[in-house]
Amino acid sequence: EEMTRKPKPKPIVQHKKLTKTERKRVISEFHCLLKEKQAIISNISPSPSRTKSIASVDLRLKELGGINKYQDASRQGKQQKYFDTAKWSFKYLRTCPSFSPFFSSSSSSSSSGGVTEGKKQRIKLIDVGSIDDPFRKHSAVICVDAIDINPRKPSVKKQNFMETKGKWDVVVLSLVVNFLPDPVQRADMIFQATKCLHARSEINVDEDEEEDQQQKKNIPGHLIMILPRPCVDNSRYLTHEHLIKILNAMGFDLQHYHASPKLVFYV
């Protein structure tokens, strides 16, 4: 009797490097096609013509290269701009008073800027739309759940954030809200973050724990949201001030804001 061989895991294919013009074209066309598809779904009642129109858009998305090509363009763009979501977020968390117990001076620093293993608690963080799982390098101080609808690394879980259940100290939405084609979907994603955030007061901590451990249970949930700057600077429908009002209405209080030439950061 012949032994059945297990199929070898498919390697993660690295597509060829795209030029700046190609990256912009892929990202722009992908977003336009998603918006076109959403408009068809929202404005046309179910019918054979609607099915045909959706199939036509799906074919054009496939010809463009699909979500893999979009992710490659997005990832290569970040690399060219030397932008690292985890690096920026980690730097903020280190300087945020709420998270100071996790970076206590009594803990030895690691080469990545974190702390050594052995701490009783780590910051619980969910990275939504995590292509490369960038927070993994800070695992000494951050317990990360990396999810994506189209994971490209084994450590990233295939999961839709809108169906996610659980509680975290930090939710990271880095360049994913703008990926959604419909304003309602974008608002729903941000509101979903409110359901996934908790304060440390929800966690049981023994009374005889050290003071820094006691402090850790009082940390409010933090949302880190990163958007392309044109979303608030060049949009006909949204401004920075309007976005702040939306976030306040959902229960968020702006703790930190930063704008680079290409991106805006909200905490």
Residue-wise pLDDT tens digits, 105-152: 434 444 444 444 444 588 999 999 998 899 999 999 999 999 999 998
pLDDT at residue 22, rounded to an integer: 85
CB-based contact 130:149 (threshold 8 Å): no
Residues near 181 by beta carbon (within 8 Å), at least 6 away in sequence: 31, 34, 35, 37, 38
CB-based contact 171:221 (threshold 8 Å): yes
Sheet containing 257-259: give its strands across. 157-158, 142-148, 123-128, 170-174, 222-228, 263-266, 257-259
Q: pTM for the whole thing?
A: 0.78
Amino acid at site 158: K
pLDDT at residue 120, rounded to an integer: 54
Report how far residue 156's alpha carbon sits from residue 148's, in angstroms, rounded to the nearest whole number. Answer: 7
Summarised one tens digit per residue, pLDDT across range 225-249 is 999 999 999 988 899 999 999 999 9
pLDDT at residue 165, rounded to an integer: 92
User: What stretches in the chain show pLDDT beneath 50?
Assistant: 1-2, 9-13, 105-119, 201-208, 212, 214, 216
* One-character DSSP codes across 153-222: STTSEE--GGG----BSEEEEES-GGGSSSHHHHHHHHHHHHHHB--GGGS---TTS-HHHHHHTTPPPE
Neighbouring CB atoms inside 10 A of 188's CB total 13
pLDDT at residue 258, rounded to an integer: 94
pLDDT at residue 106, rounded to an integer: 38
